[in-house]
Amino acid sequence: MTALILLDAAGRRRSPATVPGHHCGHAPRNKGLRYPADPPTVEEIVAVMRCAGPTPHGLRALALIVLLWRAGLRISEAVALTESDLNRATGGVLVRCGKGGKRREVGMDRWGWEQIEPWCHWRVEMPVGALLCVIDGPTSGRPWSPSAARTTLRDLAVAAGVRRRFAPHQLRHAHAVGMAREADVIQRQLGHANLGITSIYLQGIDNSEIINTIYARPAPMLPASAGLR
């Protein structure tokens, strides 16, 4: 703001975009654009996780990746989690305010819980608050911003040599693809023509049963050729 005042005082013309309210009523330039799902492969996700490293910043990034991938959370839901929202005993993760303000509890598999455990152990050394928190400076313990989290994932993907978009929602897509394959198995087992019919049968499943089922899911498998280049 000081720079704008100096420009005005000097009689220099400034961009209309700097005037307060200039963007009001204008849709964002990316509004309506849709990116293809194109989720990263298991090999690519694991490569990024390995690239994160054992530092506190790396452990936090690894925990974020796991929550997005193995629990299927949105980035806003992941960074809004508090330490008390994790229930290791049941395998449940409580989302207090999801899309549309909806509250729900989701499951995460044993492998996922094992991956976030190092960060959870390190997290207790900091002030009580957000699970994925700011580590350094006077704001330590406060929620990690979604924009900073996205930047971290992008930088790690570049360092890991992953040549595709590695955004939080891509990891959620990877979770959905894995679940869709399992739903397809149920559909074929029951001999249904489409998943719409299968979903009728699935509506009566209790949420605790869903969490238990997700908790019991096997760990992600890497092909035998992975890392043999």
Q: Annotated active-site positions, please?
A: 74, 99, 169, 172, 192, 201
How open is the CA angle 223-219-78, to the nearest 5 degrees? Answer: 115
Cβ neighbours of 50 (radius 10 Å): 13
- Sheet strand arrangement including 92-95: 86-87, 92-95, 104-107
Joined together, the tokens standing for residue 227 give: 């890392």
Cβ neighbours of 175 (radius 10 Å): 20
- 143 beta partners: 133
- CA dist., res. 183 & res. 177, Å (int): 10
- CA dist., res. 79 & res. 189, Å (int): 38
